[in-house]
Amino acid sequence: MKRVILASTSTLYNGDYLDYLLPTLQNHFEGCKTLLFIPYARPSGISHDDYTTKVSTAFSKINITAKGIHEYENLTEAIQKAEAIFTGGGNTFLLVSQLYKNNLMTVLKNTIEAGTPYLGTSAGSNIGGMTMNTTNDMPIVLPESFQTLGLIPFNLNPHFLDANTQSTHMGETRETRINEFHTISNIPVLGLREGSWLEIYEENITLKGELTARLFRQNEAAIELETDTNFNFLT
């Protein structure tokens, strides 16, 4: 069965990395002593080693040892033999490009669907959707494909922000961008606000956190969904 958490963000309200999620992760990764970390998204250009050190510090608080996938010679085997897997945030284009370059997208999908517990934050959550087309990130590289893991039957927009009617910013809102996506695609999109996450266990996809999430569907008005909503109605 799938055991997946897809979170909007890794850090909340100036807290330490992953701190707000650690109680949930302790249950999610119960029985796991080691974790494979995929650092390919490289937020702010951080190195794979430095990113892994940051993750290791966080997971040591719940007695889990993290090791970066870049430290292995056989990347496919590293995924297949992992007790648990975490893909961190950063640039989704870079992340997806590296997964395809190393022929890991399919093996990652198959391993997660076979039951290896998975955590994604930000870019690592984007790849849990059907495609990465609703990321907020700059296209700094061109991936082989925009198709991603398809762990859920819709796309995500992490870090979703509501329009600020008092702002003088003249750029497009997140809602506008998602509506543009829906001129060419019928894939639903969930705007996931900071501090919110999805828990996917077996066939149940449940919204967690204190805030609502905003669901967009082609040719329909967007709707707000409460915590503990089950997204089975989208399957």
Give 61-71 pLDDT, tens digit per residue. 999 999 999 99
Burial group, residue 135, by CB count within 10 angstroms (0-12, 13-18, 19+):
buried
Task: Please report which confidence band the pLDDT of residue 164 belongs to, taking 50, 70 and 90 as the band edges.
Answer: confident
Pairing of strands 85-87, 118-121: parallel
If pLDDT is split at 50, 70 and 90, which confidence band does 235 have? confident
Short-list 219, 163, 212, 149, CA closest to 188: 219
pLDDT category of residue 198 using cuts at 50, 70 and 90: very high
Residue 193 has, within 13 A of its CA and on its CB side, a CA count of 16
Do residues 205 and 230 touch, judged by C-beta distance below 8 A? yes
> Which residues are catalytically annotated?
122, 137, 159
| Total length of the chain | 235
pTM of the model: 0.96
pLDDT at position 79 over 90: yes
Instruction: Report the chain's mean pLDDT, rounded to a whole number.
Output: 95
Distance CA 205, CA 208 (A): 10
Where do the domains of the chain lie, and which CATH numbers do they carry?
3-234 (3.40.50.880)
pLDDT exceeds cutoff 60 at 170: no
Helix (H) or strand (E) holding 7: strand 3-7
In whole angstroms, give the CA distance from residue 3 to residue 204: 10
- Does residue 142 carry a pLDDT above 90? yes
Q: 66 pairs with which residues across the strands? A: 35
Q: What do you get for the CA distance between the two ends of the chain, in Å?
A: 16
Residue 13, pLDDT > 80, answer: no
Percent of the chain past pLDDT 70, that is, above it, reads: 97
Q: What is the dihedral of CA 79, 85, 88, 91, to 10 degrees?
A: 30
Give CA 87 to chain center in angstroms: 7
Helix residue ranges per DSSP H, 15-156: 22-28, 48-60, 75-80, 92-101, 105-113, 123-126
